[in-house]
Amino acid sequence: MSKFTQEATTMIELLGGKDNIAAATHCVTRLRFVLADTSIANVGAIEELPSVKGTFTQAGQFQVIIGNDVDVFYNELTNIAGIEGTTKESVKQQAKQHQNALQRAMSNLAEVFAPIIPAIVAGGMILGFRNILEGVKMFTEAGGFSLVEGTLTIANVSVFWNGVNHFLWILGEAIFHFLPVGITWAVTRKMGTSQILGIVLGITLVSPQLLNAYAVAGTAAADIPVWDFGFAQIQMIGYQAQVIPAMLAGFSLSYLERFFKKIIPNVIQMIFVPLLSLLISVIVAHTVLGPIGWVIGKWISDVVFAGLTSSLNVLFAGIFGFLYAPLVITGLHHMTNAIDLQLIHDYGTTLLWPMIAFSNIAQGSAVLGIWWLHRKSNPDESQVSIPSLISCYLGVTEPAMFGINLKYSFPFLAAMIGSAVAAVLSVGVGLAANSIGVGGLPGFLAFNFEKWWVFALIALVAMVIPFVLTVFLGQRKEAK
């Protein structure tokens, strides 16, 4: 008998019995269930179990936060219930049966971007570090250190750091300029089709033979290279850092592969399915989908940029900052990744991402307020609150939101208010990020050096307001 035997037995009963568990798996800290009937589960009683740090429902999955011992708990629960565990992908597919059309669409979008987000975040950190090396003038001609009178950067005065700066660009270029390769791979991975074909398709969108996407605007139409077929010409334009053209191309490849697998006999599928799928998708990508995706992406970025720079930009920012955390609950927030990347491609910076970073910080600060309120009355809660707020400050909000803030409601509202104020200040002063980075306190690396103090001040606002509001509202609630 393990230490979780009794709790696991009780949890099965509170979930509605083993017959109500359609699928079960776990991640690093959470149990993930798909329930046949979610209304049967006694959520309140489950959250009272000693090992449970919180619960939430997302994307059709009922998730229970356990902590580092989740694998031990999971094994005990599945053994007692006599059920077989399933993969996370299987659970996702079964969970979609409980989603509406919009939720399924957002889940699909999330599944495309989720695998490439680590690379994007790493790339943002690398570009931020390179910004320090080549963009911060901190040395004088005489060799002294001065952030005021400096005219030389670290890369200017150090052969070693200049070499590091150039070396790191290999990673930055691979992640952002060749982003379409990652996107087309992620699409085929999500669609269950040939991932290597997705990679090849992505490479054809960023081939060195093509005119780099960043050079298109400055190149006269007559000077753009073309494939000349006599009866028709196709412009040889690359799609470096482009999101929507890559997504459209990736989905076209996947659907073509599925189509040809249905109509081509098994004996020759190995030859003709990949050949026809790849050839047609590349042609369509460069003649139809690429140009259309380019235009759509430009429209989206223009609309968002106009909203962020118009006379109503402060109102736009306030609404976005206030509603971003609820968007995380629905999964709709994943669309901002594509918008941010498009803004960076079209304008070189993004005003949208800083607001996301401040929203994350605000959620963490609301958790800090709960910890302060309950540090004496409920010290056991610190096992959830402290790791959650650290996670928030480092850019991951779900443990804080679902484990603490939504549980008490008022901290979530306090964080939304703090996020809205920070967003208004951020857009009001034109705080723009050079890339997507870590959406929390380390996010300062995504900005030029002269903007660091602005980021720090607004981050302080995003910390103080939710903390103060949470403590104030909590004290009033406890006084009643």
Looking at the annotation, which residues are catalytic? Answer: 27
Q: How far is residue 325's CA from residue 338's CA, in Å, rounded to a whole number?
A: 18
Q: How far is residue 449's CA from residue 432's CA, in Å, rounded to a whole number?
A: 12
Structure tokens that stand for 60 in this block = 């059709």
> Where would I find the H helices in 173-265?
179-191, 195-205, 213-216, 244-263
Q: How far is residue 253's CA from residue 187's CA, in Å, rounded to a whole number?
A: 9
- Paired strand residues for 39: none
Backbone angles phi, psi at 448, to 5 degrees: -65, 150
Structure tokens that stand for 205 in this block = 């969108």
| 8 Å CB contact between 441 and 459 | yes
Q: Which residue has the tokens 């670290």?
A: 154
Please choose, from the candidates 17, 35, 31, the residue with its C-alpha nearest in 3D space to the C-alpha of residue 69: 31
* Helix H or strand E segment including 242: none
**Residue 102 CB contacts under 8 Å (≥ 6 apart), including other chains:** none
| 8 Å CB contact between 343 and 352 | yes
Q: How far is CA 140 from CA 152, 159, 245, in A?
A: 6, 16, 46
How many other CB atoms sit within 10 Å of the CB of residue 455?
21
DSSP character at residue 132: H
Structure tokens that stand for 88 in this block = 């996370």
Backbone angles phi, psi at 390, to 5 degrees: -65, -45
DSSP character at residue 59: T
Please choose, from the candidates 460, 463, 381, 459, the residue with its C-alpha nearest in 3D space to the C-alpha of residue 415: 463
Q: How far is residue 396's CA from residue 367's CA, in Å, rounded to a whole number?
A: 13
Q: How far is CA 93 from CA 22, 190, 194, 441, in A?
A: 11, 11, 19, 35
